[in-house]
Chains A and B, each alone.
Chain A
Amino acid sequence: MSRKIGVCLLILVMILSGCMDATPIEEVSVSLILGLDLDEEDNLLVYMSSPIFSKEAKDKEEVYEVKSYTLRHSREKFDARVIGLTSGSKTQLFLVGKRLLKKKDWFDYLDPFFRDPKNTVTARVVAVDGSVAEVIFNKPADKPRLSLYLTSLIDAAAKRNIVKETTLQDFHSQMEDKGRTAWITQIKKKKRIELTGSALLAQSGQYKITITPEENQLLNILEGKKKGDYSITIPVSMESASKGKPYISFSISDLKVKKKVKFNGRFVFDINVDLQISISEQLFPFDVQKDYAKLEKSITNELENETNQLIQKIQKSQIDPLGLGLYARAYTYQEWKKVEENWGNTLAKSKINIHVKTKIKGIGTSNHQ
């Protein structure tokens, strides 16, 4: 009998102890979006957007902008404004304004994300082409809460490989690793919010160039990313193509990328791309079943052309989003050791050869001759 009572008491103690210090969700301000930017006088601006769980509130979101010295310093200022206690454990997006991106070493500001175990490291790092305020104060009437909207926008686009999705943890590795540089999503507020491709940063975190969604697909192919779908549209230069509109679209059903490095006075990289494609659109008369080799060759040429242009652009900016430095370190360690502090510059002087092999696997259900 006394044992039963004891067990009951024990269960009560175990369950009830949780009620002592409960935090209702209405009293927490969860910063789903955090933003960092600079104003005209180069003061640090911190933005926060958090959902409101209240039937009386008309807006379902509160957004604030404060001036502060650091990210953690901004928290007191937010606490003085928002409805509950600010919490950084659920951050989905981390927006960085263009003005701040153009500065060096802004990465130092992110320290609390990695230091405080309560903070999440899976927030997506997003470059804003313009100021953060333009994006974060935006309230599209036909969309859900901005944080949900932007998150699913970026996730969906990353599945199509038109932007690079980089979490804070990935970003940390990209920044700290000497053999690669950062590669993050970029958005812009035009009439509406739009993904404009990806931003490529230098080793110091400084903004270098933007690549378009099409270029992002190519860079993903060179990286060897198999996940997600590719839908690539390119012009082909063939005799028969000039009879119609010279465009062909295809998806990639299989992708194999091999990177090799050797050193003879300078680093020489060979990137071998093996593509298996299925044609999804063809706007000119051509008998693929008969002359498939011709079309494969034409696609190969065009892809090699475009990727070479992209690589030249990257080399000119002295950056390495592909992480070719990792290969240099792994296979030519002695030479790498000498140049690791100055890798971007070295890569710019290296030779990068791209060899594409295309194989048409499927042509769909019609054959436009």
Chain B
Amino acid sequence: MKKYTHNEITILQYIFLIVGTQMGVGFLSLPRVVAEKGGTDGWMGIIIGWILSVASSIIMVKTAKKFPNDTLYDLLIRFFGKILGKVAIFIILGYTLSFSLIIFINTFLYIKAWFLPNTPDYLIVMLFSIPVLFIVRNGLRVIGRYNELIFYMTMWLPVVLLFPLKDGSFLNLLPLFKVGWKSISATLPPVIYSFLGFELVFFFYPFLKKKQYAIHGIIIANTLSMFFYLFVTISCFVFFSPDSITDFNQPVLSMLKVIEFPFIERLDVVILNILILFSSRSWILYMYCTVFSFSQLMNKQDHSLYVPVLLGLLVIGTFFVQPTWMQVTTWQKWASNAGIAVAYVFPVFLWIYSWGYEKFSRRRFS
């Protein structure tokens, strides 16, 4: 029985959904973060992170393949029974919710720092809630289309990063392997954080129309993200001297500040506007997964009711708590640890469990 035929997504949408969740605003500071740990060899950490995330993604799709029409909720209930399954889905719900909030607050702090320093927090959040409400309350197909559209709209972004490179020097990257593997592997936690997002494949998989391409799709998505991160990081390493890159909080924006065209002097501000669209994909998807899990937990088919409630809580929340940069950085560290658990440890565990479950249940039936 197919539960989700009315909301099927194409393979392209599936790829862009995963890419969209992976790319938030994290890439703006990624070059600095990896440079702090691994110097100019930090970019190698991105390739290692990519291998890890592809490996974990394949395991996830393999697990999901066994029960192609199960959402994560159905899967967990099937595996662990009603009570344990619900507890597990509750934890996942908390995870997606906190990710959605952290990415959202992070974007919102950028907006506040760069162009709306005097506007009260809750007003900005309210402004954002309206379009988000219209997108999230629809099904995955609409969100998939939104992601696809934004992907095409922002494809030119990497091209802009080529302009400042004429002032850079590729000598900055040499010699390779100057810090040793220990420092390179120290870059992994932030890199893993920027690859997070593929774990939502459990949510997307049941909606995918052509399930035979699921593994190809997720590998393509991870690779697209990897190329983007690698491109951004290496551009920054070439442009900034290795001794000064750690002085800039968001090297990517500082690099964009240098670009001047005769008709526009501050391209960074324009690009930051586009980044709102860019990172909105990420928090919209986490938010969708949150309300989707919640509606399943409540045994309701329609999740759209919970979206205004969640957004309303968010507006009220920011009215009382005004988050700061330092707080968000700490939250990010926690989220990063939780992400390693959910995106790397949990799938492996689930895969092994599903394997045992299959054997056990087959024996029972035969």
- What is A's interface to B at a CB cutoff of 8 Å? 89-90, 114, 117, 120-122, 167, 169-170, 172-173, 176-180, 323, 326-327, 329-331, 333
Contact = CB atoms under 8 A, between A and B. Distances in A.
3 closest Cβ pairs, A-B complex: A176-B244, A330-B174, A177-B241
A178 B248 contact: no
B258 A121 contact: yes
A164 B172 CA distance: 22
Contacts of B266: 89, 120
Interface string B309-336: 0000000000000000000000000000
B302 to A, nearest CB: 25
A120 B257 contact: yes
A326 B171 contact: yes
Nearest to A333: B175
B243 A327 contact: no
Contact of B243 (A121, A122, A169, A177): A177
Nearest to B258: A169
Given A122-B258, A172-B244, A333-B178, 16 more contacts: A89-B266, A90-B265, A114-B247, A114-B248, A117-B268, A120-B266, A121-B258, A169-B254, A173-B244, A176-B247, A178-B243, A326-B169, A326-B172, A329-B174, A330-B171, A331-B175
Interface in B137-192: 167, 169, 171-172, 174-175, 178
B113 A117 contact: yes
10 contacts: A117-B113, A169-B254, A169-B257, A172-B244, A173-B240, A176-B241, A176-B247, A177-B244, A323-B169, A330-B175
B240 A167 contact: no
A61 to B, nearest CB: 20
A243 to B, nearest CB: 46
B358 interface: no
Given A114-B247, A176-B243, A177-B243, A331 B257 contact: no
B71 to A, nearest CB: 36
Given A330-B175, A331-B175, A121 B257 contact: yes
A326 B258 CA distance: 22
A201 to B, nearest CB: 16
B68 interface: no
Interface in B184-204: none
A122 B172 contact: no
User: Of residues A117, A121, A177, which shows the largest number of chain B Cβ atoms within 10 Å of its Cβ?
Assistant: A117
Nearest to A328: B171
B142 to A, nearest CB: 20
User: Of residues B113, B167, B244, B266, which shows the largest number of chain A Cβ atoms within 10 Å of its Cβ?
Assistant: B244
A333 B180 CA distance: 13
A172 B255 CA distance: 12
Contacts of B258: 121-122, 167, 169
Nearest to A121: B257
Nearest to B178: A333
A331 B172 CA distance: 11
B275 interface: no
B253 interface: yes
B355 interface: no
A323 B268 CA distance: 29
User: Of residues A120, A170, A173, A329, which shows the largest number of chain B Cβ atoms within 10 Å of its Cβ?
Assistant: A173
A114 B251 CA distance: 11
B41 to A, nearest CB: 11
A329 B169 CA distance: 13
Contacts of A178: 243
A117 B169 CA distance: 25
User: Of residues A167, A180, A326, A327, which shows the largest number of chain B Cβ atoms within 10 Å of its Cβ?
Assistant: A326
B242 interface: yes
Contacts of B268: 117
Nearest to A175: B244
Contacts of A122: 257-258, 260
Contacts of A333: 175, 178
A121 B244 contact: no
Nearest to B248: A114
Nearest to A178: B243
B114 interface: yes
A172 B254 CA distance: 12
Given A117-B114, A120-B257, A177 B171 contact: no
A178 B244 CA distance: 9
A168 B22 CA distance: 34
Nearest to A177: B241
Given A172-B244, A173-B244, A177-B244, A329 B257 contact: no
Contacts of B260: 122
A326 B248 CA distance: 21
Contacts of A180: 241
Contacts of B244: 172-173, 176-177
Contacts of A173: 240-241, 244
Contacts of B178: 333
A330 B242 CA distance: 11
Contacts of B248: 114
Nearest to B175: A333
